[in-house]
A and B are shown apart, each in its own frame.
Chain A
Amino acid sequence: MDSDQGQRFLLERPKRKNPVLRTRLPTLPPAARSRIALGLTAAAAMGRFELQQCKDCGTVQYPPREACQKCLSVKLIWKILPDGGELLARTVLHHSNDLFFRERLPWHLGLVKLDCGPTVVAHLHDSVEKRVRIKAMLDRAGQAVLAALPEKEVNVAEDRQLREFSCDPKFRKVFITDGKTGLGQELVKKMASAGADLIWVGHSEPWKKFKGFDELAKIPQVTLLPLDLTDSKNVREVAAEIGAKVDIVVNNAEHHRAFGIANRAGIETARAEMDVNYFGLLRLAQELGPVMRARGADGQSSAVAWVNVLSIYALANFPPHGTFSASKAAAHSLAQCLRAEMRPAGVRVVNVFPGPIDDEWNQLQPPPKVTPAALAAAILRALQDGIEDVYPGDVAQEWLARWRDNPKALERELSA
């Protein structure tokens, strides 16, 4: 093993907070990027490492630029590229005038010569050796940075430096808004096994006992809370009770019926969808957002992430589930607003866009459908990996590809 193993960072349960000391305010790493450089962020947001490659001469570009550094062609295409490289040099930062890094010194940086050409500056994983792989991650400002990892599989959330870019639930307190669904119950299991300290689980209409209630209640980390996102008073009271402790919110509560416009008279179903999927998110964000923003740098287990379970139908309307699609599009738009408002505190808003989930409301959808367990696993991975846009499952991936290629064509295909 490595020679410096004795000093290696071990993620330990943080001590209880000293309640008489001031809570540190969140700071962000440098966030300014050119529009071109945001291409790196767009890819990293989905967990991809992409650089520009010249269409004319094949040169890979870094940092992102307007014209090819070799032939001056403007035909630079963002592409997923091989992530292997060699660590040329490393250095330890002991001083920084940047407030974010100043509070996190010492900081290890390195120069990595990529197999695909350019040499890049990267944040170093604790156990990198000569051969590394580069991972594009989002930092606390929501911008892409490059991290150099060892070739073997590692959990970046357990590295002292790279943990700053992740939203790991370990030793954190998680609030899952709906425990009644298969997804909610799988999320609880995943968060518990990932080491979450406490898991609050909402359930609406407490008089309707649901399948899985007893199993949930038995998990030692779990506290069940009556919660109905359509009830402002209830949301306010729950937020008042637990808000100051919540580090990660997973808003998976949704109302889903399979109707378009003509096959359901009136607006009651559509309104119920909006009330949970859109206004529910708004109520929750108004009550919990401010207190989470205040805790963006509250020690090792700070407030760190807000996950919205949206739908791939938020990108383009799926007419057989037309009103549901519209409510998810509204929620997506609001989630972008929430992202903008949470970013100054370094709290990441993770938007999840699953295709049809294998549940009762997608009974008539043909497979493939994403299982609640697979969806919960994708959400956990996104938190640990520093991703903010998640498209889990085959259907979501395929729709995303079609939508990115030609949104109008997808609209026509879906209305066929």
Chain B
Amino acid sequence: MNDFITKLTSGKIRVVDLTHTLSPEFPSISLPPEMGQAWPFRIEEVSRYDERGPAWYWNNFSCGEHTGTHFDAPIHWVSGKDVANGSVDTIPSRNFIGPAFVVDCSKEAAKDADFLLTKKHLLSFEKQHGRIAGRSWVLMRTDWYKRAGDPAAYQNYDETGQHTPGPDIDAVKFLVEERDVLGFGTETIGTDAGQAQHLRPPYPCHYYMHGAGRYGLQCLANLDQLPPTGAVVIAPPLKIQNGSGSPLRVLALVEGK
């Protein structure tokens, strides 16, 4: 621990912020309009050194559990509804910190917005960087986060819906069943691909990860600043009673430059 503290305070361990700023402009998930909708982030000023509060500035904010950079708990999905300790307030806190394996799919995603990460990709990643360890995060780097300044490009809708990359069914099952991961993280809105409602089952990452008590991280930023292996991710969601997820600050610790 002392060694860790020395490295942290001396800057030998870098802290990378994987979080987008919570702002009203940040695109939020859109469901068909007749369905219930998650609140986008909204903020109202309470006072700003004025007659509403002379010496202080503060705001009230509102948002859904799944707004901005956020954490998905197992009970978010119907397949995980009966998982023990499946809500953000009951998940063991040791699970909020873990090693990260960062799979670079940026070239593939640039070519094909509907790119699906396969088990084959994961096996070739392992051949290069070693076996994905149990109890670790697998993060899918697509550089999609760079689109966040342009909500239309980030959402990437056309008349058939959203087109964003994600994992395919076999990749998710492989990570859950054969690698025992902590969870899966993406740079897009959703751990699943934009067109994943057409997969069988629909939204396989939500279905299998949460069904097995694993977690999701979405709308991550700066994954291009992480090494393929060796980073540690700190991702504790807000302790919301029976919460299905929460916006959060996600940090990565990286040794070296």
Cross-chain contact B157 with A268 (CB below 8 angstroms): no
* Identity of the chain B residue whose Cβ is nearest the Cβ of A272 in the assembled complex: B37
Cross-chain contact A209 with B157 (CB below 8 angstroms): yes
**In the complex, what residues of A have CB within 8 A of residue B40's CB?**
230-231
A269 is an interface residue with CB less than 8 A from chain B = yes
0/1 interface trace, chain A 200-220, chain B, CB 8 Å (1 if under): 000001111100000000000
B3 is an interface residue with CB less than 8 A from chain A = no
B45 CB → nearest A CB, Å: 8
0/1 interface trace, chain B 24-55, chain A, CB 8 Å (1 if under): 11010010001011001011110000000000
B21 CB → nearest A CB, Å: 13
B144 CB → nearest A CB, Å: 14
B154 is an interface residue with CB less than 8 A from chain A = yes
A102 is an interface residue with CB less than 8 A from chain B = no
Cross-chain contact A268 with B36 (CB below 8 angstroms): yes
User: How many Å lie between the Cα of A257 and that of B32 in the bound state?
Assistant: 13
Cross-chain contact A205 with B24 (CB below 8 angstroms): no
Cross-chain contact A232 with B157 (CB below 8 angstroms): no
**In the complex, what residues of B have CB within 8 A of residue A94's CB?**
none
**In the complex, what residues of A have CB within 8 A of residue B191's CB?**
none
User: How many Å lie between the Cα of A230 and that of B25 in the bound state?
Assistant: 11
A203 CB → nearest B CB, Å: 12
0/1 interface trace, chain B 154-166, chain A, CB 8 Å (1 if under): 1111000000000
Cross-chain contact B36 with A207 (CB below 8 angstroms): no
* Identity of the chain B residue whose Cβ is nearest the Cβ of A265 in the assembled complex: B36
A91 is an interface residue with CB less than 8 A from chain B = no
Cross-chain contact A233 with B24 (CB below 8 angstroms): yes
User: How many Å lie between the Cα of A117 and that of B151 in the bound state?
Assistant: 66
Cross-chain contact A231 with B42 (CB below 8 angstroms): yes
Cross-chain contact A207 with B155 (CB below 8 angstroms): yes
**In the complex, what residues of A have CB within 8 A of residue B24's CB?**
228, 231-234
**In the complex, what residues of A have CB within 8 A of residue B36's CB?**
266, 268-269
B152 is an interface residue with CB less than 8 A from chain A = yes
**Chain A contact residues, majority secondary structure:** loop
User: How many Å lie between the Cα of A234 and that of B41 in the bound state?
Assistant: 12
A363 CB → nearest B CB, Å: 11
**In the complex, what residues of B have CB within 8 A of residue A268's CB?**
36-37
- Range class of the A interface residue count: 10 to 19
B188 CB → nearest A CB, Å: 13
B180 CB → nearest A CB, Å: 37
User: How many Å lie between the Cα of A266 and that of B36 in the bound state?
Assistant: 10
* Identity of the chain A residue whose Cβ is nearest the Cβ of B150 in the assembled complex: A207
**In the complex, what residues of A have CB within 8 A of residue B27's CB?**
207
User: How many Å lie between the Cα of A228 and that of B42 in the bound state?
Assistant: 11
Cross-chain contact A207 with B42 (CB below 8 angstroms): no
Which of chain A's residues 252-280 have a Cβ closer than 8 Å to chain B? Answer: 257, 266, 268-269, 272
Cross-chain contact A232 with B42 (CB below 8 angstroms): yes
Cross-chain contact B37 with A207 (CB below 8 angstroms): no
A233 CB → nearest B CB, Å: 5
A230 CB → nearest B CB, Å: 6
* Identity of the chain B residue whose Cβ is nearest the Cβ of A279 in the assembled complex: B44
Cross-chain contact A208 with B157 (CB below 8 angstroms): yes
* Identity of the chain A residue whose Cβ is nearest the Cβ of B23 in the assembled complex: A233
Within 8 Å by CB of A207, from B34, B45, B154, lies B154
* Identity of the chain B residue whose Cβ is nearest the Cβ of A208 in the assembled complex: B157
Which of chain B's residues 4-38 have a Cβ closer than 8 Å to chain A? Answer: 24-25, 27, 30, 34, 36-37
**In the complex, what residues of A have CB within 8 A of residue B151's CB?**
206-207
Cross-chain contact A207 with B157 (CB below 8 angstroms): yes
User: How many Å lie between the Cα of A314 and that of B43 in the bound state?
Assistant: 28
* Identity of the chain A residue whose Cβ is nearest the Cβ of B36 in the assembled complex: A268
User: How many Å lie between the Cα of A377 and that of B63 in the bound state?
Assistant: 39
0/1 interface trace, chain A 223-255, chain B, CB 8 Å (1 if under): 000001011111000000000000000000000
User: How many Å lie between the Cα of A230 and that of B30 in the bound state?
Assistant: 15
**In the complex, what residues of B have CB within 8 A of residue A208's CB?**
30, 155, 157
User: How many Å lie between the Cα of A272 and that of B154 in the bound state?
Assistant: 24
**Other A-B pairs beyond A207-B151, A207-B155, A231-B40, 8, CB < 8 Å:** A207-B27, A207-B157, A208-B155, A209-B157, A232-B42, A232-B45, A233-B43, A269-B36
Which residues from chain A sit less than 8 Å from chain B, CB to CB? 205-209, 228, 230-234, 257, 266, 268-269, 272
27 contacts between A and B (CB under 8 A): A205-B30, A206-B151, A206-B152, A207-B27, A207-B30, A207-B151, A207-B154, A207-B155, A207-B156, A207-B157, A208-B155, A208-B157, A209-B152, A209-B157, A231-B40, A231-B42, A232-B24, A232-B42, A232-B43, A232-B44, A232-B45, A233-B43, A234-B24, A266-B36, A268-B36, A268-B37, A272-B37
Closest 9 CB pairs of A and B: A207-B155, A231-B24, A207-B152, A207-B151, A233-B24, A268-B36, A207-B157, A232-B44, A207-B27
